[in-house]
């Protein structure tokens, strides 16, 4: 019997440069992964970042640092509500989109927050990425995204990325008629594997109560209680 993942929540952030309702090819690949999750009981949330007024910067609320408006403080609770975060976006000039960079910077802005165990807030959560485009760069973009997520505290499962690119140079995008994208076996396989790996690891972490807290508590370190310290008062 196929496994169930009821109780898990996932957030897909689409970092396309296109505002709604313009067609996003990245959204086509998101649809494949999110459909698998929904079929197995996962509550899925989707966010197209460019539709929101997300200020540039590395502070939780940029209105406190010179910006007139910033929607990130209102969007961030959706990040904390998710056991699984999948950052998704297109390739431009061989790299992640400017919107992807901005979202990662704002995630970084909130990375000093702590969870109930005194660890960084993203501990115990799982991260992955989906990349689309019609030029080379999937692995390069995925390396940047996955490194960033693990550095912030997310746990990355095996095969945590997937993507689709057409032929090198100008050509059809993923959802364009005749592109072959939605039928591509390699992309479909990798997206499916990524999705299930995210689900399995998220369920494992949730069942275990997250990452064990010994040795990685920012709150304890700041209080002077350093693991394996020679001073017994700091153990």
Q: Is the pLDDT of residue 170 over 90?
A: no
Q: Where are the alpha helices (DSSP H) in 112-215?
A: 138-152, 185-207
The answer to whether residue 205 is domain-embedded is yes
Residue 107 CA to its chain's centroid (Å): 10
pTM, to two decimals: 0.94
Examine residue 10 and say whether the peptide bond preceding it is cis (omega within 30 degrees of 0). Answer: no
Cα R_g (the chain), whole angstroms = 19
pLDDT score recorded for residue 197: 98
Q: Is the pLDDT of residue 234 over 80?
A: no
Q: Is the pLDDT of residue 232 over 70?
A: no
> Mean pLDDT throughout 129-156?
94
- CATH number of the domain that residue 179 is part of: 3.40.50.360
Q: Which of the four pLDDT bands, split at 50, 70 and 90, describes residue 166?
A: confident
The answer to whether residue 233 is domain-embedded is no
The answer to whether residue 94 is domain-embedded is yes
Split into its structural domains, the chain has a count of 1
Q: Is 159 within 8 Å of 197 (Cβ atoms)?
A: yes
Angle of the 25-39 helix axis to the 185-207 helix axis, nearest 10: 50
Domain that holds residue 113: 9-223
pLDDT score recorded for residue 230: 65
* Two structure tokens written together for 161: 């990325």
Q: Is the pLDDT of residue 187 over 80?
A: yes
> Mean pLDDT throughout 99-108?
98
The answer to whether residue 1 is domain-embedded is no
* CA proximity to 39, closest of 79, 4, 91: 4
pLDDT score recorded for residue 52: 98
Q: Which of the four pLDDT bands, split at 50, 70 and 90, describes residue 194?
A: very high
The answer to whether residue 147 is domain-embedded is yes
Q: Is the pLDDT of residue 168 over 80?
A: no
The answer to whether residue 62 is domain-embedded is yes
């Amino acid at each position: 019997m196929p496994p169930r993942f009821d109780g898990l929540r996932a957030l897909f952030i689409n970092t396309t440069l296109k505002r709604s309702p313009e067609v996003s090819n990245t959204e086509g690949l998101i649809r494949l992964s999110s459909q698998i999750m929904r079929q197995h009981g996962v509550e899925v949330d989707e966010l197209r970042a460019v539709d929101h007024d997300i200020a540039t910067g590395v502070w939780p609320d940029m209105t406190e640092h010179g910006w007139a408006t910033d929607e990130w403080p209102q969007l961030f609770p959706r990040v904390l509500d998710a056991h699984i975060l999948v950052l998704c976006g297109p390739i431009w000039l061989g790299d992640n989109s400017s919107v992807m960079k901005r979202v990662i910077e704002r995630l970084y802005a909130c990375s000093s927050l702590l969870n109930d165990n005194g660890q960084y807030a993203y501990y115990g959560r799982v991260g992955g990425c989906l990349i689309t485009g019609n030029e080379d760069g999937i692995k390069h973009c995925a390396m940047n995204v996955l490194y960033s997520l693990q550095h912030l505290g997310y746990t990355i499962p095996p095969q945590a990325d997937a993507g689709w690119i057409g032929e090198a140079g100008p050509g059809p995008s993923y959802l364009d008629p005749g592109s072959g994208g939605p039928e591509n076996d390699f992309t479909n396989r990798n997206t499916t594997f990524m999705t299930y790996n995210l689900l399995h690891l998220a369920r494992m972490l949730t069942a275990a109560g997250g990452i064990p807290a010994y040795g990685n508590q920012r709150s304890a370190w700041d209080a002077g209680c350093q693991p394996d310290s020679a001073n017994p008062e700091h153990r």
